[in-house]
Each structure stands twice: as structure tokens, then as C-alpha cells.
């Protein structure tokens, strides 16, 4: 009986370590490339952890999007706990939610242009805002629609807040603060 308990604890620990490797690896690739890695890279890099990766997809921790990119969802970023890269990604999401809410309150045709926002904010690059916009879209944040760039890169160019944007909580990082 003691061996069974140890084995189940060991299996859980092993899965937790694999999840941390996968999420940390994806965050590292985002940091290196500025965008989400493609699914082929993830499968090749974490081939020995494939069953755990598939569970991450089933649970909504990561999600294939666009032209085969591998996105870490808000839930996945929260799971990364004290990782500063995950915190930065969540903080960009929060920032976009706040900008959308402010823009909605301000005008008749609210729109947050991501390129202009990056210039205005100075400490946040455009790619980070584009990634955050995609995470919000995948998260199905109510009241936020995405406009896509005309450059063919398949990246968001603007957010259009609707009335339900006021229902989106602005504390997305609450579970990732270390």
C-alpha cells in the first residue's frame, strides 16, 4: 500500500515536471522568437512528453491557433506561477483589457490600434500586445473583437471593444503573482 502511494505521488510529480518543461519551453521560445512556436516545434521538442502535452491541450492550458501556432492560454499562464515571462504575458492581457475599457467609455466608435498603443506605452512592444490580443480572443473575453493585420502575418492589428468589455475582470494575473 505504501508503494502504491509512492508510485502515484511519483507519477503526479513526473507529470507536473513535464508540464513545467512544456510551458517553460514554450515561454522560452516566445521570448526568443517574439511569437508562439508552431506545433511541429512543440511536438519535436517535447516528443517524450507527448501524452502530457495532449492533456494540456484537452485541459485548455495550451491551444493550437492560426496557422498551427501553439498558444499558452490564460489558464496555462496562470499555471506557470512565479515565472516572470508568464506574468509579463498576463500583464499585457490586463493592459489591453484596461485600454479597451477606457476606449469603450471614451467614444462612439471605440478601437484600440495595437501599433499606436505600443508607441504610446513605450515599455511594451507590438509583438507582446499582438500575443495578448490573441490570448484574449482565445479566452473568449466578452466584448472584445479582433481586427487582423493586412500584412498577411496573421497577427492582430486592433481590438474593438463592445459593451460587454466592462464585464471582463482586470485582474488576470491574480494567480500568477509570485
Domains in the chain, CATH or no CATH each: 2-79 (1.10.10), 84-167 (1.10.10)
Q: Which grid cell sits at 11?
A: 507519477
Residue 160 has pLDDT above 80, yes or no: yes
pLDDT band at 167 (very low <50, low <70, confident <90, very high): confident
Q: Rounded to whole angstroms, how far apart are CA atoms 87 and 178? A: 9
**Contact in structure between 145 and 105 (CB atoms under 8 Å):** no
Residue 29 has pLDDT above 80, yes or no: yes
pLDDT band at 4 (very low <50, low <70, confident <90, very high): very low
pLDDT 10s digits, 123-140: 889 999 999 999 998 887
Tell me, what's the pLDDT at 152?
Answer: 58
Q: Which residue has the cell 480572443?
A: 137
Cross-strand partners of 158: 113, 147
pLDDT 10s digits, 100-112: 999 999 988 899 9
- 146: three-class secondary structure by DSSP: strand
Tell me, what's the pLDDT at 174?
Answer: 58
**Contact in structure between 98 and 105 (CB atoms under 8 Å):** no
- For the chain, the straight-line distance linking the first and the last C-alpha, in angstroms and rounded, comes to 36
pTM of the model: 0.85
Contacts of residue 73, defined as CB under 8 A and 6 or more positions apart, other chains included, come to: 60, 61, 62, 63, 135, 138, 139
Tell me, what's the pLDDT at 178?
Answer: 41
pLDDT 10s digits, 45-74: 999 999 999 999 999 999 998 778 999 999
Amino acid at each position: 500500500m505504501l508503494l502504491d502511494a509512492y508510485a502515484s505521488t511519483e507519477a503526479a510529480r513526473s507529470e507536473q515536471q513535464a508540464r513545467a518543461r512544456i510551458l517553460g519551453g514554450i515561454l522560452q521560445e516566445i521570448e526568443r522568437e517574439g511569437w508562439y512556436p508552431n506545433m511541429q516545434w512543440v511536438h519535436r521538442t517535447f516528443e517524450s512528453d507527448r501524452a502530457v502535452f495532449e492533456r494540456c491541450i484537452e485541459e485548455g492550458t495550451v491551444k493550437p491557433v492560426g496557422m498551427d501556432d501553439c498558444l499558452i492560454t490564460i489558464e496555462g499562464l496562470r499555471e506557470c506561477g512565479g515565472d516572470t515571462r508568464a506574468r509579463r504575458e498576463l500583464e499585457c492581457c490586463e493592459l489591453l483589457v484596461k485600454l479597451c475599457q477606457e476606449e469603450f467609455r471614451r467614444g462612439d466608435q471605440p478601437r484600440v490600434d495595437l501599433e499606436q498603443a505600443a508607441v504610446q506605452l513605450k515599455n511594451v512592444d507590438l509583438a507582446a500586445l499582438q500575443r495578448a490580443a490573441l490570448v484574449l480572443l482565445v479566452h473568449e473575453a466578452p466584448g472584445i473583437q479582433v481586427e487582423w493585420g493586412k500584412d498577411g502575418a496573421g497577427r492582430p492589428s486592433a481590438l474593438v471593444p463592445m459593451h460587454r468589455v466592462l464585464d471582463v475582470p482586470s485582474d488576470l494575473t491574480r494567480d500568477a503573482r509570485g
